[in-house]
Amino acid sequence: MSDFDLDDLRNELSEFALPEKKVGRSPREERIVAGFEEIQRFVEDHGRTPKHGEDCDIFERLYAVRLDRLRSQDDCRELLVALDHQGLLSGADAFAAAPVETMDEDELLAELEGLAGDADITQLRHVRPSAEKRAAEEIANREPCDDFDQFKPLFDRVRQDLKVGVRETRKIDNSENSLADIKPGALFIVGGQIAVVVEEEKSFVTEYNRTDRRLRVIYDNKTQSNVLARSLQKALYRDGAARRITELSAGPLFAEVINEEDLASGTIYVLRSKSVHPLVAANREVLHKIGVTGGDVVRRVANAKLDPTFLMAEVEIVATYTLFNINRTKLENLIHRIFDPARLDIEIKDRFGNPVVPREWFLVPLFVIDDAVERIRSGDITGCIYDPKEAKLVDFTRK
């Protein structure tokens, strides 16, 4: 047997050697990488780095704090630099800088209703799925509303208002999603349901020196929740389909002083029928037709006895209100919505014998119509509805 030099033998066998086993990441490193990947996904989805500040979503604030820590620790930077295709660790990316977050990661996690987490960098983890679920639980954890019948007319009216255009839905803009706007009477669409805030408790200060208050919110699927205002605010922001339902508004209608630039655009008229129909005769003093016209009222009613809209009878003009710079159709829809509970249910025959059901006659006293006009003029008509039992306008959002 020939003698082999050991070095030569080692070199000959080296190509058959098994590759050295790479040491895997430690649990701490895995958590750091997972946390960094969440930040990267945020940047991919939003086109910017996460920002600090109370106006931002809590998850975004958490990511902003996390990114600051990763940038500040050399071992984290060394671990992640090969993964940093967006240049996030250097801070030299093209995204705008943001003010420093005053709350640390631990406090932000505490806002998510007890999601445990040490503020240390070793506690970085996938928090979004469970955090979103936990933050949404208070919204989703609803109970049956035992007195829903009291609020059902409200939801019916809101749907009708949206249909005729006297209310609108507007996308929730986080910059306009003010906590002050979440108050009794406010209407939203959240989680696919119309929701109305009906009650609020006294404000209190949280352990992080932030004001909050508990609300009673009724939903149109016959449920309710006692939710914190900040929780509802966050739910509205996170729900991409969430909408704010606008208040009833017809604009500045009846200014005390008419300016030269104001253009007369129509008249609200109130009529009383001279029909001998038994139902009309029995309620003549409180039965009124309320309409809006852009023309002359006298000319409008000239042929009343031939028009089923006027009950096929002569009418008396009992009140008129000139209006300015207003959408007449929306105003008329608003007025009819307010007095809908007192709408006259009657069927008459036109001159050809065809049955007609007039829709603009209401069993409501004239002084209540005057009150409605004043409320429209002052902008205080929001939430009002006519209550036939009390013979007055009431605020259905505070019943």
pLDDT at 363: 96
Res 54: pLDDT: 63
Per the CB < 8 A criterion, the answer to whether 377 and 370 are in contact is no
- Residue 63 has a pLDDT of 85
106 and 196 share one domain: no
pLDDT value for 25: 79
- The string of pLDDT tens digits covering residues 201-231 is 998 887 777 888 999 999 999 999 999 998 8
Torsion angle, alpha carbons of 211, 194, 46, 105, to 10? 30
pLDDT value at residue 94 = 37
Query: Same domain for 217 and 289?
Result: no
Q: Look at the chain and report how many structural domains it folds into.
A: 3
User: What pLDDT is recorded for position 126?
Assistant: 42
**Are 368 and 390 part of one and the same domain?**
yes
Print the domain residue range for 274.
264-398
Measure Cα distances from 1 to 4, 256 in Å: 9, 122
Does residue 7 fall inside a structural domain?
no
* Ranges of residues in the chain whose predicted pLDDT is under 50: 1, 21-22, 92-100, 102, 111-138, 140, 250-252, 255-256, 399
289 & 394 share domain: yes
Three-state SS for the chain is CCCCCHHHHHHHHHCCCCCCCCCCCCHHHHHHHHHHHHHHHHHHHHCCCCCCCCCCCHHHHHHHHHHHHHHHCHHHHHHHHHHCCCCCCCCCCCCCCCCCCCCCHHHHHHHCCCCCCCCCHHHCCCCHHHHHHHHHHHHHCCEECCCHHHHHHHHHHHHHHHHHCCCCEEECCHHHCCHHHCCCCCEEEECCEEEEEEEECCCEECCCCCEECEEEEEECCCEEEEEEHHHHHHHHHHCCCCEEECCCCCCCCCCCCCCCCCCEEEEEEEEEECCCCHHHHHCCCCEEEEEEECCCHHHHCCCHHHCHHHCCCCEEEEEEEEEECCCHHHHHHHHHHHCHHHECCCCEECCCCCEECCCCEEECCHHHHHHHHHHHHHCCCCCEEEECCCCEEEEHHHC
pLDDT in tens, 355-399: 999 989 999 999 999 999 888 877 777 678 899 999 999 876 554
End-to-end CA distance of the chain: 108
> pTM surpassing 0.85?
no
Asked if residue 293 and residue 240 are part of one domain, the reply reads: no
Structural domain includes residue 11 = no
How distant is the alpha carbon of residue 18 from its chain centre? 63
Residues 276 and 352 reside in one and the same domain = yes
pLDDT for 34 equals: 86
Same domain, 90 and 173: no
Residue 177 in domain: yes
Identify the residue whose tokens are 């007890």.
114
Report yes or no on 9 lying in a domain: no
Nearest in space to 63 (alpha carbons), one of 27, 89, 39, 93: 39
Shared domain check, 85 and 211: no
Last residue of a domain, one of 202, 217, 245: 245
Q: Is residue 292 part of a domain?
A: yes
Report pLDDT digits (tens) over 347-358: 998 888 899 999
Instruction: Let me know whether 273 and 392 are in one domain.
Output: yes
